[in-house]
Amino acid sequence: MDLRNLEVLAIHKYPEHMEECCKLINDEWPRSETARMMMLQASCDTLPTSLILIRDRTLVLGHCKLTRIPNIPESCFLETVVISKKFRGQKLGSFLMTKVEEYCKNELKLTMVHLSTKGQENFYSKLGYSVCAPVSIYGYSQQPLQSINKNYSNENIVAKPVPKENTSVRVNIPPPPPPPPINNGIIPISTLKSSKTYMSKVL
Ligand SMILES: CC(C)(COP(=O)(O)OP(=O)(O)OC[C@H]1O[C@@H](n2cnc3c(N)ncnc32)[C@H](O)[C@@H]1OP(=O)(O)O)[C@@H](O)C(=O)NCCC(=O)NCCS
């Protein structure tokens, strides 16, 4: 394969390739076409972004989606990495990943990337990725949840003053709050259990 005819482009700038890309992805991971198209249509400059590998601006050969990681703003999560079945084993996956990393570094000004995989560890380790702790793209915090703990603080329980002349009036104290989250709001890594291998690379 002549790599000179290949480009990696943001799909929202070339929406005419969305349907072809949708088919390519669904050929690997079958899913409703509507849902898949919605994922691709969500692509934008500021993440999520879908990048496609395309030959001669006509044939879509691969795809990779970049998603924000709420707790790691200097990185993004690479997912739905796929090369068209007929074209695997020709270094196109490596080419796509290299261009995706360049995009992350030069366009998004990120300093690292994360991903998870089940079975493609070798492919990624050859590209310089190493195993890391699980990360979440859904905003689970691994920091203490200060705001939640604040709400559970006794400072927020305000008792009505007891009138001096009638001590028999009952103080209207609200019921106690629910117990604070276990482990001071830190969600331990073990609760983000997954059979996947998480990997990262410094750019
Ligand atoms: C994984 C995938 C993107 C690789 O694309 P590709 O174009 O076939 O990969 P390359 O030709 O660039 O391979 C680069 C190297 O990785 C190796 N490699 C590729 N896929 C591999 C795999 N599944 N297991 C082990 N090694 C693999 C290749 O042998 C090659 O090694 P070499 O440099 O020593 O020759 C492609 O196989 C694919 O789309 N798979 C299905 C979807 C998928 O599983 N995506 C990953 C989700 S995490």
Same domain, 40 and 130: yes
Which pTM value belongs to this model?
Answer: 0.79
Q: How many angstroms separate the alpha carbon of residue 89 from the centre of ligand 1?
A: 7
Report the atom number in ligand 1 closest to the C-alpha of 119: 23
pLDDT (tens place) for every residue of the chain, 203 residues total: 888 999 999 999 999 999 999 999 999 999 999 999 999 999 999 999 999 999 999 999 999 999 999 999 999 999 999 999 999 999 999 999 999 999 999 999 999 999 999 999 999 999 999 999 999 999 754 444 443 343 333 333 333 444 454 545 555 777 777 765 555 544 444 445 669 999 999 99
Q: Side by side, which strands form the sheet with 130-131?
A: 6-10, 49-55, 59-68, 75-83, 112-117, 197-202, 130-131
Rg (CA), the chain: 24
Same domain, 114 and 154: no
The CA–CA distances, whole Å, from 38 to 47, 50, 166 equal: 14, 12, 66
Pocket of ligand 1 (CB under 6 A): 28, 81-83, 88-94, 117, 120, 122-123, 126
Which residue, among 6, 90, 91, has the nearest Cα to 51 in the 3D structure? 6
Report the atom number in ligand 1 closest to the C-alpha of 116: 48
Same domain, 117 and 175: no
Q: How many angstroms separate the alpha carbon of residue 62 from the centre of ligand 1?
A: 12
Structural domains of the chain, count: 2
Judge whether 28 and 82 are in contact, CB under 8 Å: yes
Same domain, 64 and 122: yes
Same domain, 152 and 64: no
Structural domain of residue 165, as residue ranges?
143-186
Which mutation among 52, 120, 195 tests ligand 1's pocket best, with the greatest number of atoms within 8 A of CB? 120
Phi, psi of 142 (to 5 degrees): -105, 10
